[in-house]
């Protein structure tokens, strides 16, 4: 396992370099700049700002300078917040985004696994059709539509939750549910399919023939193999949760990295966009690595190869 983790860590370096290069190119090709004319900055001051941040140099020199800083772990200063480093902004806002993602992932796993397992135990019955239909509706309902619907019902009509913010436990419910429901639908369908396949195998029939209770058959014998498709999905799901959190944070006014990323993209804050993209890219790589390790633990036939 140590060699596997070391190899994946080494493979991460060119991946992050490619992500940083692509981000650099896309930012430079986008129209406008951090100190363009719509900000009404005098030409003299604009020239000094461009020189201070190295934006007056050729693009290849800017690229080499930025890559050199990234290798040292220095993301530089934000153009929008000149007195704050990108590392400091990410360090302050990242825990909020990670907390939102953790809550959403917990909700999606709980709802998805429970409904998927129940549907697999009672195929072609109401306990199968109802969760499967609800999962299909959840797949078809994007987060940017589900969020306003939940706000309309639970904030304005029922007045159960506050509208904006991330301060009290009640203010964290709707954003977490909105982000987690979409992936709960996928997990439910994967769990149902995986459990149906495992429950039809010979070792399950043997366990039942030996007198094992249905609870033991499901939780001890079948569940470990039945959730393998779910674990395989967790890597892409984590990436989706991270990307979806940008929309959720904007809808619910959450002061996480999503708002910083959206604002920095509009303001052409090159250093902030680069820092947030690399942070989330590193996080996705780490989550995929953890998913692969859990897969080997669940299925000993797999190896760290």
Q: Among 36-40, 109-113, 225-229, which is the least confidently predicted range?
A: 36-40
In the beta sheet, which residues pair with residue 85?
Answer: 77
Q: Supply the range of the domain harboring residue 255.
A: 93-298
User: Is 305 a domain residue?
Assistant: no
Domain identity same for 144 and 220: yes
pLDDT score for 254: 83
Give the whole-angstrom CA distance, residue 265 versus residue 273: 6
Quick check: 75 and 85 in contact, CB under 8 A? Answer: yes
User: Is 83 a domain residue?
Assistant: no
Q: Could you read off the pLDDT of 178-206 as tens digits, one per residue?
A: 888 878 888 888 888 888 888 888 888 88
Domain identity same for 115 and 257: yes
Give the Cα-Cα-Cα angle 62, 63, 68 (nearest 5 degrees): 100
pLDDT score for 104: 87
User: Is 87 a domain residue?
Assistant: no
Q: Which of 17, 37, 71 marks a domain boundary? A: 71
Q: Could you read off the pLDDT of 24-43 as tens digits, one per residue?
A: 888 888 777 676 655 566 67
DSSP for residue 160: -
Give the Cα-Cα-Cα angle 195, 199, 204 (nearest 5 degrees): 140
Domain identity same for 123 and 243: yes
pLDDT score for 37: 54
Across the range 143-155, mean pLDDT stands at: 83
pLDDT surpasses 80 at 99 = yes
Neighbours of 156 (CB within 10 A): 9
pLDDT surpasses 60 at 304 = no
């Amino acid at each position: 396992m140590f060699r596997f983790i070391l190899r994946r860590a080494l493979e991460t370096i060119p991946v992050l370099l490619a992500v940083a290069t692509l981000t650099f190119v896309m930012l430079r090709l986008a129209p406008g700049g951090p100190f363009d004319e719509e900000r009404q900055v005098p030409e003299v001051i604009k020239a000094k700002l461009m020189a201070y941040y190295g934006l007056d140099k050729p693009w290849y020199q800017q690229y080499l300078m930025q890559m050199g800083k990234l290798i040292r772990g220095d993301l530089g200063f934000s153009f929008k917040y000149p007195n704050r480093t990108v590392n400091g902004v990410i360090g302050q806002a990242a825990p909020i985004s990670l907390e939102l993602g953790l809550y959403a992932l917990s909700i999606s796993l709980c709802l998805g696994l429970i409904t998927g397992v129940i549907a697999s135990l009672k195929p072609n019955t109401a306990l199968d059709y109802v969760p499967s239909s609800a999962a299909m509706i959840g797949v078809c309902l994007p987060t940017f539509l589900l969020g306003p619907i939940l706000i309309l019902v639970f904030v304005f009509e029922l007045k159960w939750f506050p509208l904006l913010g991330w301060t009290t436990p009640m203010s964290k419910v709707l954003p977490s549910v909105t982000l987690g429901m979409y992936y709960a639908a996928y997990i439910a369908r994967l769990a149902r399919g995986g459990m149906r396949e495992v429950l039809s195998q010979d070792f399950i029939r043997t366990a039942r023939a030996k007198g094992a209770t249905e609870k033991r058959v499901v939780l001890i014998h079948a569940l470990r193999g039945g959730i393998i498709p779910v674990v395989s999905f967790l890597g892409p799901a984590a990436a989706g949760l991270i990307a979806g959190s940008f929309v959720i944070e904007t809808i619910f006014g959450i002061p996480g990295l999503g708002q910083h990323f959206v604002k920095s993209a509009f303001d052409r804050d090159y250093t902030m966009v680069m820092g947030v993209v690399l942070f989330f890219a590193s996080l996705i790589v780490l989550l995929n690595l953890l998913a692969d390790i859990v897969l080997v633990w669940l299925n000993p036939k797999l190896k760290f190869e």
